[in-house]
C-alpha cells in the first residue's frame, strides 16, 4: 500500500499541532479537579492483546495519564517485521498528534496519514524480545485509538477496501473496553493473513455486526456491548467448495487424572492435502498444567497431542489434590488460511486410594534403585562387537503413564540390556539423558558414528498402543536398512511371546518416531518399543529382566550366537527363528547333522549368518541332481570332484562348508556396501556357476543392475546365451544343462519351508 510522504508544509503543521497539543495538555492538567484526578488514577491499568502470530506479539495499551500509550513486545526467538495501524476515532483526528516516547518529532514515515487522518501506519521491525512504545497525546477526552497488526504491505493489492474498513471502524464510536475487544478479534485474523477481497468482505460484515452492538448499547445503557463483541462469530473467507481442515478436530477434550496417574493426554488429528502453518494457544485454569501442543505432518494428515500433567498441582496433607477440576480452551489456528477452532478442555480429578499411592511410591523407588544383574557368559565370539544402547528420552520428553515416566522405564531396561551384552563380551556405550541434560537425537548419531559402533539399539515405551513395535530407518540405505530389518525381526520374535502382541516392524516414515530418533547412521539402527509404559506386565518384578533378556537374545541371534545343544551360538539367515534340527524333508542330511554343526562352527558359517537349515537346503538341492559324487545328503562340491571324490563323509562336509564360506567372503569383498544384503544370493549362485560367473555378475551390479538381472546376464554371457540360464529345470539340472540364474531362489524356497517348520517366519528381502 502506498502512502504519501509529508511535504514541508505538512511537517510544519504537524509540529505546530504537536506543540499545541502539549500546551493544551498542560492547561488541562492545571485545570483538573479532584474528579479528574480520580479518573486518571483509574486509567493506569493497561489492557493487553496477545496476537497468535509467528513470532508471537503482545500489545499492551491504554491510558497513560492524559495520553494513550501502546507497548509492543516480540515474545519470539526470531525478528518480527510488521505494519501497525493506529485508528483514530472519527471527529477527533484534529485533536490527536503522534508523539514518540522520547518526545522527538516523528519521522515522515511514522506519521504518514491515511484516509483523511483516520489512521496512522508504522512499519516496524522488532528484534527477539524487543519492545516498541508509542504515545498518543490528545486534547479532548473520550474515545481511544484502536491498534491493528498486519504483515508488511499486506494490503498493497486492496488499498481502497482496507481504507474503507478503517473508516468504518473509526466511525463506530467505541468505548475503551469495546475498542479493546474489537482490536483483539481483528488482530487474531489480520496478524498472519494475506489480504484478499474475500477476507476484507468478511471483516466488513463483522464490523457491521459490531456497529449493531454499539447501537444497542446507546439505546440500552445496561447492555454490555464489550462482551457481545468478544462473542460475535467471526466470518471467515471461504472459496467455493471450501472445506475447513480444522473441522476434523473435536469440539471438546475431556481428560481424567488422579494422584496415581496425574498425566493424561488426547490425540488430535485432521486431514490436509497441503502444508499448513499451525499455531496453538491454551487458556484458562488448565493452562498452567498443559504442555505445548505441536502438530506433525504424516502423509496427508496432521497429528498432535494435547496433554496435561498435574504432578505439581497443589495437594492436601493426605496427598490428595486440592482442586477437583480444571477447565479452559485450546485454540488451534491456521495462519495462512486465517482460520481457527476453539476446543473446550475439561480435566477432572478422580482421587486415588491411599494404598494405590503407596504402591506408586514403591514402584518409583524400585525403578530408581534397580541395578543391572550380571548375565551369563555366552560366547567369546561376541567379543569385539561394539553396540550403543540408547535409553530414549529424558525427563522433559517422552510419554508418561501410570505416574511413571517413559524415560524411567527406558533407562532400567537399557541398563539391564547393557549388562547382558557386556557379560557376553560386547563393548557397549550407554546413552542416558538426565533431567538437567537431555541428549539430542543428533548427538546420539554423532556418538555412534564417531565410535564407530556396529549396531545402535534405542529402548522406548509407548503411552497409548499395546504390544511390541520395532522401527527401522529407511534414511539409512542399502545393507544398513536390510540388517536393521533383520535384527528387528529377531528381537520381535523374542519379545512378542513375553508381551503378548506385536505391531510388527515398520519404517520410521510410517510411524511417529522420526522426530524422536536418529538419522544418517553409519551402522544398522533399530528402535524397540517394548510395550506400554503402564503395561500390566510390569506388576511382575522380573519383567524388566525378561524384557532385557529377550532383546539380548534377538541381538545375539542376529550376530550368530544363539544357543544350540552343543553350546555354540549362531544366527538364522532369512528366518525369525533359527533352524537347529534337520526338518523331515531333509532326512537324507539328518544322519550327518552333528558333523554339519561341527564344521559349520569350525569354518565360520554361523558367524557369516547361516544356520543348519540353510546349509541343508543347499545340500538337498545339490543332492537332488544325483551328481557324479553320488553322495545323497552330503556337500556336492567341486573341491571333492577335483580330488576324484572325497575319501570320507567328514572330508566332504569339511571341504564343502569351507568352500561355501570362501564364496560368501569373496562376494562380500567385491560387492558395494549398499548391496551387501545380496551376498548370500550371489555366493550360492557362484557355488553353482563358478567364480568367474559371479564376478561378472557383480561387475554388472556395480553399474546399477538388479541382482537377478545381473546373474541372468552374466550366465548368458559366460555360457554363450544358453537358454537354461533363465530358469532352473530340475531334469535339465541332472543332465548338466539346467544350472540357471534362479538357482539360489530354489534354495531359499526350501529354506522357507524349513523356517516355517521350526516355528519361525521367513524374512523376505
Residue 357 maps to a domain: no
Give the alpha-carbon dihedral of 408, 410, 411, 416, to 10 degrees.
130
Residue 575 maps to a domain: no
Q: Taking 90 as the threshold, does the pLDDT of residue 98 lie above it? A: no
Q: Which residue(s) pair with 122 in the sheet?
A: 84
Q: What pLDDT was estimated at residue 23?
A: 42
Q: What pLDDT was estimated at residue 566?
A: 35
Residue among 456, 474, 483 at smallest CA distance from 677: 483
- Positive or negative torsion for Cα 198, 228, 181, 167: positive
The cell numbers describing 426, all together, are 560386547
694, 686 contact by CB (below 8 A):
yes
755, 579 contact by CB (below 8 A):
yes
Cα of first residue to Cα of last residue in the chain, in angstroms, is 61
Q: What is the DSSP letter of 315?
A: B
How many CB atoms within 10 Å of residue 171? Answer: 14
Contacts of 208 (CB under 8 A, 6+ apart): 168
The upper half-sphere exposure of residue 741, i.e. CA atoms within 13 Å in the direction of its Cβ, equals 23
99, 122 contact by CB (below 8 A):
no
Domain count, the chain: 4
Domain termination residue (choose one: 349, 383, 400):
349
Q: Stretch 510-524: mean pLDDT, rounded? A: 59
Residue 764 maps to a domain: no
Burial of 45 (0-12, 13-18, 19+ CB in 10 A): exposed
Length of the chain: 765
448 and 403 fall within a common domain: yes
Q: Taking 70 as the threshold, does the pLDDT of residue 383 lie above it? A: no
Domain termination residue (choose one: 349, 373, 395):
349
Residue 571 maps to a domain: no
Residue 568 maps to a domain: no
Q: With b meaning 16 or more CB within 10 Å and e meaning fewer, what string describes 179-209? A: bbbbbbbbbbbbbbbebeeebbebbeebbee
Helix H, strand E, coil C: the string for 568-601 is CEECCCCECCCCCCCCHHHHHHHCCHHHHHHHHH
User: Which residue range forms the structural domain that includes residue 310?
Assistant: 245-349
Q: What is the CATH number of the domain that holds 596?
A: 1.10.530
Chain segment 24-57, per-residue pLDDT in tens = 433 333 333 333 333 333 334 566 766 655 667 8
CA distance 144 to 43: 12
CA distance 82 to 459: 46
Q: What pLDDT was estimated at residue 368?
A: 41
Q: What is the CATH number of the domain that holds 103?
A: 2.60.40.1180
- CA–CA distances in Å: residue 442 to residues 407, 445, 511, 517: 18, 5, 19, 8
648 and 714 fall within a common domain: yes
221 and 315 fall within a common domain: no
Q: What is the DSSP letter of 763?
A: -
499 and 607 fall within a common domain: no
Helix H, strand E, coil C: the string for 416-440 is HHHHHHHHCCCEEEEEECCCCCCCC
CA distance 27 to 29: 5
Residue of 334 and 571 predicted with greater confidence: 334
113 and 134 fall within a common domain: yes
- Give the lowest-confidence range in 31-45, 310-324, 594-608, 654-668: 31-45
Residue 3 maps to a domain: no
Percentage of the chain modeled with pLDDT above 70:
66
213 and 260 fall within a common domain: no
Q: What is the CATH number of the domain that holds 516?
A: 3.40.630.40
Q: What pLDDT was estimated at residue 336?
A: 53
Residue among 183, 191, 189, 184 at smallest CA distance from 201: 189
Q: What pLDDT was estimated at residue 108?
A: 40
Q: What pLDDT was estimated at residue 219?
A: 80
162, 199 contact by CB (below 8 A):
no
CA distance 224 to 229: 9
CA distance 362 to 260: 12
CA distance 171 to 148: 16
CA distance 387 to 484: 13
389, 564 contact by CB (below 8 A):
no
Domain termination residue (choose one: 559, 574, 602):
559
pLDDT band for position 701 (cuts 50, 70, 90): very high
Chain segment 414-448, per-residue pLDDT in tens = 999 998 888 777 899 999 877 667 788 788 888 88
Q: What pLDDT was estimated at residue 512?
A: 43
164, 111 contact by CB (below 8 A):
no
Q: What pLDDT was estimated at residue 19?
A: 40
Contacts of 648 (CB under 8 A, 6+ apart): none
Residue of 365 and 609 predicted with greater confidence: 609
CA distance 314 to 320: 9
Which of the listed ranges 113-117, 261-265, 644-648 does the model predict with the highest average pLDDT?
A: 261-265
Helix (H, G, I), strand (E, B) or coil at 657: helix
- CA–CA distances in Å: residue 658 to residues 603, 640, 652, 655, 763: 6, 12, 10, 5, 25
Q: What is the DSSP letter of 93?
A: G
477 and 596 fall within a common domain: no
Q: What pLDDT was estimated at residue 414?
A: 92
For residue 113, report the phi and psi dihedrals to the nearest 5 degrees: -80, 145
- CA–CA distances in Å: residue 253 to residues 260, 266, 728, 733: 21, 7, 63, 69
Chain segment 734-746, per-residue pLDDT in tens = 444 555 667 788 8
Residue 172 maps to a domain: yes
Q: Taking 50 as the threshold, does the pLDDT of residue 409 lie above it? A: yes
Chain segment 669-699, per-residue pLDDT in tens = 999 888 888 899 999 888 877 888 899 999 9
Chain segment 314-330, per-residue pLDDT in tens = 988 888 888 889 999 99
Q: Taking 80 as the threshold, does the pLDDT of residue 411 lie above it? A: yes
pLDDT band for position 337 (cuts 50, 70, 90): low
| C-beta pairs of 645-650 under 8 Å, 24+ apart in sequence | 649/592, 649/595, 650/595, 650/599
Q: Stretch 117-133: mean pLDDT, rounded? A: 80
436 and 537 fall within a common domain: yes
Contacts of 382 (CB under 8 A, 6+ apart): 421, 424, 425, 426, 556, 559, 561, 569
696, 722 contact by CB (below 8 A):
no
66 and 168 fall within a common domain: yes
Helix (H, G, I), strand (E, B) or coil at 465: coil
Residue among 488, 498, 503 at smallest CA distance from 536: 498
67, 43 contact by CB (below 8 A):
no
pLDDT band for position 117 (cuts 50, 70, 90): low
Q: Taking 70 as the threshold, does the pLDDT of residue 619 lie above it? A: yes
Residue of 455 and 189 predicted with greater confidence: 455
Given the DSSP bridges, would you call strands 113-114 and 146-150 parallel, antiparallel or unpaired? unpaired
Contacts of 733 (CB under 8 A, 6+ apart): 624, 625, 739
Residue among 442, 444, 340, 319 at smallest CA distance from 390: 444
For residue 364, report the phi and psi dihedrals to the nearest 5 degrees: -65, -40
CA distance 502 to 694: 40
Q: What pLDDT was estimated at residue 54?
A: 61
77 and 170 fall within a common domain: yes
Lateral strand order in the sheet of 301-309: 263-271, 301-309, 295-298
Residue 578 maps to a domain: no
35 and 141 fall within a common domain: yes
Q: Taking 80 as the threshold, does the pLDDT of residue 575 lie above it? A: yes
CA distance 126 to 72: 9
Contacts of 710 (CB under 8 A, 6+ apart): 697, 698, 700, 701
Q: What is the CATH number of the domain that holds 304?
A: 2.60.40.10
223 and 80 fall within a common domain: yes
Helix (H, G, I), strand (E, B) or coil at 554: helix
Mean pLDDT, the chain, whole residue set: 72
Amino acid at each position: 500500500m502506498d502512502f504519501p510522504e509529508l511535504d514541508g508544509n505538512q511537517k510544519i503543521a504537524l509540529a505546530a499541532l504537536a506543540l499545541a497539543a502539549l500546551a493544551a495538555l498542560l492547561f488541562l492538567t492545571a485545570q483538573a479537579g479532584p474528579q479528574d484526578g480520580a479518573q486518571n488514577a483509574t486509567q493506569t491499568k493497561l489492557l493487553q492483546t496477545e496476537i497468535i502470530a509467528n513470532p508471537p506479539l503482545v500489545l499492551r495499551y491504554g491510558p497513560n495519564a492524559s495520553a494513550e500509550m501502546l507497548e509492543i513486545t516480540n515474545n519470539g526467538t526470531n525478528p518480527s517485521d510488521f505494519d501497525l495501524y493506529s485508528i483514530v476515532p472519527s471527529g477527533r483526528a484534529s485533536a490527536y498528534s503522534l508523539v514518540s516516547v522520547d518526545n522527538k518529532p516523528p519521522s515522515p514515515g511514522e506519521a504518514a496519514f491515511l484516509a483523511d487522518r483516520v489512521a496512522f501506519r508504522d512499519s516496524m521491525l522488532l528484534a527477539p524480545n524487543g519492545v516498541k512504545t508509542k504515545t498518543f497525546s490528545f486534547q479532548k477526552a473520550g474515545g481511544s485509538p484502536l491498534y491493528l497488526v498486519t504483515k508488511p504491505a499486506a494490503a498493497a493489492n486492496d488499498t481502497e477496501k482496507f481504507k474503507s474498513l478503517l473508516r468504518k471502524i473509526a466511525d463506530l464510536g467505541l468505548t475503551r473496553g469495546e475498542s479493546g475487544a474489537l482490536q483483539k478479534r481483528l488482530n487474531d485474523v489480520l496478524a498472519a493473513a494475506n489480504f484478499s477481497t474475500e477476507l476484507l468482505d468478511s471483516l466488513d460484515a463483522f464490523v457491521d455486526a459490531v456497529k449493531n452492538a454499539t447501537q444497542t448499547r446507546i439505546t440500552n445503557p445496561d447492555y454490555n456491548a464489550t462482551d457481545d463483541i468478544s462473542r460475535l462469530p467471526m466470518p471467515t473467507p471461504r472459496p467455493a467448495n471450501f472445506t475447513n481442515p480444522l473441522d476434523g478436530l473435536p469440539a471438546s477434550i475431556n481428560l481424567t487424572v488422579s494422584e496415581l496417574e496425574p498425566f493424561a493426554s488426547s490425540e488430535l488429528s485432521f486431514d490436509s492435502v497441503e502444508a499448513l502453518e499451525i499455531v496453538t494457544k491454551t487458556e484458562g485454569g488448565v493452562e498452567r498444567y498443559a504442555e505445548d501442543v505441536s502438530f506433525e505432518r504424516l502423509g496427508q494428515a496432521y497429528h498432535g497431542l494435547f496433554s496435561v500433567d498435574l504432578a505439581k498441582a497443589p495437594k492436601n496433607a493426605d496427598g490428595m489434590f486440592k482442586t477437583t477440576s480444571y477447565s479452559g480452551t485450546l485454540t488451534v489456528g491456521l495462519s495462512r488460511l486465517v482460520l481457527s477452532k476453539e476446543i473446550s478442555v475439561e480435566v477432572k480429578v478422580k482421587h486415588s486410594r491411599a494404598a494405590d499411592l503407596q504402591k506408586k511410591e514403591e514402584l518409583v523407588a524400585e525403578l530408581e534403585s534397580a541395578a543391572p544383574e550380571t548375565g551369563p557368559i555366552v560366547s567369546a565370539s561376541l567379543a569385539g562387537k561394539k553396540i550403543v544402547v540408547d535409553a530414549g528420552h529424558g525427563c522433559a520428553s517422552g510419554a508418561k503413564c501410570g505416574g511413571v515416566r517413559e524415560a524411567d522405564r527406558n533407562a532400567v531396561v537399557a541398563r539391564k540390556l547393557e549388562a547382558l551384552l557386556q557379560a557376553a563380551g560386547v563393548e557397549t556405550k550407554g546413552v542416558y539423558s538426565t533431567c538437567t541434560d537431555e541428549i539430542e537425537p543428533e548427538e546420539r548419531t554423532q556418538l555412534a558414528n564417531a565410535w564407530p559402533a556396529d549396531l545402535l539399539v534405542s529402548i522406548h515405551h509407548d503411552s497409548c498402543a499395546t504390544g511390541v513395535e520395532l522401527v527401522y530407518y529407511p534414511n539409512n540405505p542399502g545393507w544398513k536398512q536390510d540388517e536393521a530389518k533383520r535384527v528387528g525381526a529377531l528381537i520381535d520374535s523374542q519379545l512378542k511371546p513375553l508381551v503378548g502382541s506385536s505391531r510388527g516392524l515398520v519404517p520410521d516414515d510410517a510411524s511417529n518416531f522420526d522426530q524422536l530418533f536418529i538419522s544418517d547412521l553409519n551402522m544398522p539402527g533399530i528402535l524397540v518399543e517394548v510395550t506400554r509404559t503402564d503395561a500390566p506386565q510390569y506388576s511382575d518384578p522380573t519383567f524388566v529382566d525378561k524384557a532385557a533378556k529377550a532383546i539380548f537374545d534377538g541381538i545375539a541371534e542376529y550376530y550368530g550366537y544363539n544357543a544350540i545343544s552343543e553350546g555354540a551360538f549362531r544366527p538364522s539367515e532369512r528366518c525369525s527363528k533359527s533352524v537347529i534340527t534337520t526338518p523331515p524333508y531333509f532326512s537324507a542330511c539328518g544322519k550327518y547333522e552333528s558333523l554339519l554343526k561341527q564344521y559349520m562352527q569350525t569354518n565360520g558359517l554361523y558367524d557369516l549368518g547361516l544356520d543348519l537349515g540353510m546349509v541343508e537346503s543347499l545340500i538337498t538341492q545339490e543332492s537332488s541332481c544325483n551328481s557324479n559324487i553320488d553322495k545323497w545328503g552330503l556337500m556336492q562340491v567341486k573341491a571333492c570332484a577335483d580330488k576324484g571324490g572325497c575319501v570320507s563323509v567328514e572330508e566332504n562336509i569339511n571341504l564343502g562348508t569351507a568352500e561355501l564360506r570362501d564364496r560368501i567372503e569373496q562376494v562380500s569383498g567385491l560387492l558395494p556396501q549398499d548391496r551387501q544384503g545380496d551376498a548370500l544370493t550371489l555366493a550360492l549362485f557362484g557355488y553353482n556357476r563358478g567364480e568367474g560367473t559371479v564376478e561378472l555378475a557383480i561387475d554388472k551390479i556395480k553399474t546399477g543392475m538388479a541382482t537377478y538381472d545381473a546373474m541372468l546376464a552374466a550366465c548368458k554371457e559366460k555360457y554363450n546365451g544358453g537358454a537354461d540360464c533363465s530358469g532352473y529345470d530340475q531334469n535339465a539340472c541332472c543332465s548338466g544343462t539346467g544350472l540357471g540364474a534362479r538357482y539360489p531362489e530354489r534354495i531359499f524356497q526350501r529354506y522357507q519351508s524349513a523356517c516355517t517348520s521350526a516355528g519361525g517366519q521367513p524374512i523376505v528381502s
